[in-house]
Amino acid sequence: MKPTHARTIMAGIAGGLSMNVVMLLTFRLLGFGWNGGGILLESPAQSKKLIAVWTEIEPIPLVVNEPAPIIIGIMLFGVIHAYLFRWLSVAWPNGIVNRGFRFAGLVFVMTFLFWEFFTPFNMFGEPLHLIALELVFWGLIALADGLSIAVVMNERTSGTRKTIWKRC
């Protein structure tokens, strides 16, 4: 049975919220630091151009100074992801983990891997070991998104961890 629009939107909100939280814990806390000083800014190998874009060149990215539009945008991407999941997952094996990992893989490859290749690598000359760290961060964000959406979209989820894993 096809999930309702309400369930799809709820799944998208869960996905968007999980992406925002994991992004906060990875990129903001570890990568850039609450007030600077994170590994992505303090590494001696980091590209001066990338550091300047995030800290000096006006306008500073919205996510640093005015994060609300970015947070809302990521929530909207979560809803779009839920609709994509709804459309694609019917062709995938059943199970929250199976479907969640497949969707996370698609999001990771088609969005985050491309982003890292085209922008930090291509435009900013960021070193490969820092790009690898960012890809780990993006992988965690994609997993949070895919698994959150899969949990909410699973019509047999009763809300208990035991049931969720049993049905995977």
∠ CA 102-103-106 to the nearest 5 degrees?
A: 90
Residue-level pLDDT at 35: 85
Distance (Å) of CA 105 to CA 15, 39, 97, 109, 155: 14, 26, 12, 6, 22
Residue-level pLDDT at 162: 47
Give the sign of the dihedral formed by CA 45, CA 41, CA 73, CA 132. Answer: positive
pLDDT-flagged residues of the chain (< 50): 158-163, 165-168
Residue-level pLDDT at 156: 65
How far is C-alpha 57 from the geometric centre of its chain's CA atoms?
26
| pTM of the shown model | 0.90
Residue-level pLDDT at 36: 84
Coil, helix or strand for 34?
strand
Burial 100-114 (b: 16+ CB within 10 A, else e): bbbbbebbbeebbee
